[in-house]
Amino acid sequence: MQIKDKVAFITGAAQGIGKAVTDALLQKGAYVAVCDVDSDTGEQTVTEFAKQYGDDRVIFLHCDVTKKDSIKSAMQRTTDKFGRLDIIGNNAGITNEKQYDLCVDINLGGVVRGTWLGLDFLRKDKGGNGGVIINMASMAGLMAVPMVPTYAATKAGVIGFTRSWGASMDYDQHQVRVNCICPGFTDTQMTKEETVEEKRAKGLLHSEALVAIMSESLKLSTNAVADVFIQLVEDDTKNGAVMALVSEQPVQEVKFPDIFTNVEK
């Protein structure tokens, strides 16, 4: 896919990874809808990008990924503004073990809603142009993380959901690729500022150990994650790909065992 003049819809884009993804897409010549529940920060982000890339290339839309109507409305407003939709980044997410229902609703539910609703806009057999959906998972979805079991479960769900769409048996009809990224610890506001007490307030388990691990770990830059996002958009051979990204290590596509290979039919 050539990104120039394509239209992207990115959730959780007011700051952190979503903001870096937006910047990377704008650098490539895309039009971008910055979508977030934090209107103040989102508007500031769009003002910043508009000065650099032009106010005709980027807009802010309030979007609550726990609500289907909010997502659908924001997607419709994106297509009304820019005339098309090609790229969806389901990036919004939280870490909260105390409000575990909300954690599931945003991290997994938001991805599921964003994908199903996005397909209605992207599917070639429904009048769209085809396209690509990139879901933000985590290394926590690939390993045991006793400090954040709910968070880990949501990200494992994102991986399974993404792989299942990547194996779609009617891809030739809809022509929408679906991939995901699994970053390790990333240098965001959350990893910079949250103390042991703040993590405890969110119900995170073994908070002291988690803070110690995070303080000793090399963190990814948000730009590094955005680079992988761009690669997945541009590489038409990637569908159902799960990309693992850990600081100071090459990006790896995760390979899963095929447990049905030797099953007799």
Active-site option among 31, 53, 151, 171: 151
Residue 82 CB contacts under 8 Å (≥ 6 apart), including other chains? 7, 31, 33
Any catalytic annotation for residue 53? no
Q: How many angstroms separate the CA atoms of 182 and 61, rounded? A: 26
Q: Provide the annotated active-site residues.
A: 151
